[in-house]
């Protein structure tokens, strides 16, 4: 629970909150030309109450590293009647990058808790109109709670099963986060169904794929460990090639654009994160934020000895950091329910 831990704050450069971010920025996915798609409005208790009270819902936002001063904008979604946007509570996000026309395909985990459904929504981004078109809804087994996702090919992705959660109440969530019980695993969705491709883990959270798709990186929060797996053509069982004990609770993972390192957002003082998750909008319940940079070697494995901490904040600038993305000496840091921060080195 990190009751005795503490560190001094430090920043990689000048860091400021980004305009337009309101209900958190739990996950991000980026393109090589500086665009970042961000999920906001994850339905944790205080945030859910606020969304219902204000008649708003989860959104997908766009940030441009080439124009950081413009802040974030909510992307308009064109969809059929069947897609109930009011109930959207997005979590992990990933994209298949279209380097030619910029019509990126996005996959977003959507928790429909009111109907007890776990969904992955597929969208296409239109760079000219800056809008998203909803293409389809992929239904997953609702006895699991999915957290993060990384696209492998069209309608194929790795997705972290955070825990087997037949009842999705706050109490069950709290239980999973207190005791490192191995109820989760990494799944692969092959176009028709999702299958567990690793052994059981406690709270698998962030997941990332190497540019050559040979390695899958996964952070298991309560185990405080980073796992590196090798993929095979059949994408059946993955084989574990590396395991690094981090000593902190990692959240989401993103690669740097050059592919030379992983950026892992962590919760350095976890008991404060527990309070923050329960009472996210209370100013006293802030939680320190931190971003680690885990370099990758040419062999795809993480270089454990060169792990550095890029950012540490007590929670005043940003509370509960859950994800980070980098581009050209800039760093964008998202949180579960708090601010979005942009740093210029």
Smallest separation, CB 9 to another protein (Å): 5
Q: How far is the CB of 266 from another protein (least distance, A)?
A: 9
Give the CA dihedral 48, 54, 60, 66, nearest 10 degrees.
-120
Out of 18, 150, 207, 292, the only residue in the binding site for another protein (CB under 8 A) is 292
CB of 311 to another protein, least distance (A): 9
Single out the residue of 21, 73, 18 nearest to residue 341, CA to CA.
Answer: 18
Strand order in the sheet with 330-335: 14-17, 341-344, 330-335, 321-327
Least CB distance to another protein at residue 242 (A): 18
Contacts of 43 by beta carbon, 8 Å cutoff, 6+ apart: 51, 58, 89, 111, 113
Site for another protein (CB under 8 A): which residue of 184, 268, 288, 320?
A: 268
Contacting another protein within 208-267 (CB under 8 A): 246-248
Show contacts with another protein in window 166-195 (CB under 8 A): none
Count residues near another protein (CB under 8 A): 22
Residue 284 binding another protein, by CB under 8 A? no
Does 10 bind another protein (CB under 8 A)? Our answer is yes
Q: How far is the CB of 225 from another protein (least distance, A)?
A: 12
Selected binder of another protein within 1, 7, 85, 236 (CB under 8 A): 7
CA atoms of 324 and 280, how far apart (whole Å):
20
Give per-residue burial for 332-342: e unless 16+ CB within 10 Å, then b. Answer: bbbbbbbbbbb
8 A C-beta contact, residue 339 and residue 21? yes
Furthest-apart CA atoms within the chain: distance in Å = 52
Report the site for another protein in 302-331 (rule: CB under 8 A): 305-310, 312
Q: In terms of DSSP bridges, do strands 194-196 and 204-209 run parallel, antiparallel, or are they unpaired?
A: unpaired
Q: Applying CB under 8 A, does 83 fall inside the site for another protein?
A: no
CB 142 within 8 A of CB 117: yes
CA dihedral 158, 131, 327, 161 (to 10 degrees): -20
Nearer to another protein (CB atom), residue 9 or residue 230: 9
> Which residue of 1, 13, 32, 52 would you call a contact of another protein, by CB under 8 A?
13
Residue among 207 and 269 whose Cβ is closer to another protein: 269
Compute the distance between CA of residue 199 and CA of residue 41 in angstroms, rounded to an integer.
Answer: 31
Q: Crossing angle for the helix pair 270-278 and 170-178, nearest 10 degrees?
A: 180
Binding-site residue numbers are 26-27, 93, 147-148, 205, 251-252
- Minimum Å distance from CB 314 to another protein? 8
Stretch that binds another protein, among 1-9, 197-205, 207-215, 250-258 (CB under 8 A): 1-9
Name which of 188 and 312 has its Cβ closer to another protein: 312
d(CA 147, CA 155): 17
Catalytic residues: 91
The only residue of 5, 64, 126, 242 in contact with another protein, by rule CB under 8 A: 5
Per the annotation, binding residues for Ca(2+) are 26-27, 93, 147-148, 205, 251-252
Task: Supply the DSSP string of 277-333, one letter for each residue.
Answer: HHSTT-TT----EEEEEEEB-TTS-B-GGG-EEEEEE-SSS-SSEEEEEEETTEEEE
Nearer to another protein, 246 or 323 (CB): 246
Question: Where on the chain is the footprint of another protein (CB under 8 A)?
Answer: 4-11, 13, 246-248, 268, 292, 305-310, 312, 345
């Amino acid at each position: 629970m990190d009751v005795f831990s503490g560190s001094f704050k430090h920043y990689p450069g000048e860091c400021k909150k980004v305009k337009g971010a309101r209900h958190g920025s739990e996950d991000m996915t980026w393109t090589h030309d500086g665009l970042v798609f961000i999920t906001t409005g994850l339905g944790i208790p205080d945030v859910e109450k606020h969304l219902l009270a204000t008649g708003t819902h989860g959104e997908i936002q766009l940030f441009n590293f080439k124009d950081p001063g413009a802040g974030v904008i909510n992307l308009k979604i064109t969809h059929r009647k069947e897609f109930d946007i009011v109930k959207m509570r997005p979590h992990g996000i990933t994209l298949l990058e279209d380097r030619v026309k910029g019509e990126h395909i996005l996959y977003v985990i959507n928790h429909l808790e009111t109907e007890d459904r776990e969904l992955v929504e597929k969208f296409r981004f239109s760079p000219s109109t800056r809008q998203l078109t909803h293409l389809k809804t992929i239904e997953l087994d609702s006895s699991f709670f999915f957290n993060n996702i990384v696209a492998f090919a069209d309608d194929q992705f790795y997705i972290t099963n955070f825990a087997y959660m037949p009842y999705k109440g706050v109490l069950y969530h709290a239980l999973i986060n207190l005791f490192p019980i191995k109820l989760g695993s990494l799944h692969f969705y092959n176009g028709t169904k999702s299958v567990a491709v690793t052994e059981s883990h406690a709270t698998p959270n962030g997941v990332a794929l190497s540019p050559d798709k040979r390695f899958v990186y996964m952070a298991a929060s309560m185990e405080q460990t980073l796992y590196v797996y090798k993929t095979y053509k059949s994408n059946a069982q993955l084989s574990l090639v590396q395991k690094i004990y981090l000593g902190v609770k990692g959240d989401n993972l993103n690669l740097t654009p050059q592919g030379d390192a992983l950026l892992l957002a962590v919760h350095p003082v976890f008991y404060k994160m527990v309070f923050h998750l329960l009472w996210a909008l209370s100013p006293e319940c802030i939680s320190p934020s931190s971003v680690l940079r885990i370099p990758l070697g040419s062999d795809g494995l993480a270089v454990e000895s060169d792990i550095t901490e890029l950012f540490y904040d007590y929670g005043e600038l940003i509370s509960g950091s859950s994800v980070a993305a980098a581009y050209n000496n800039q760093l964008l840091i998202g949180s579960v329910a708090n601010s979005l921060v942009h740093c210029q080195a």
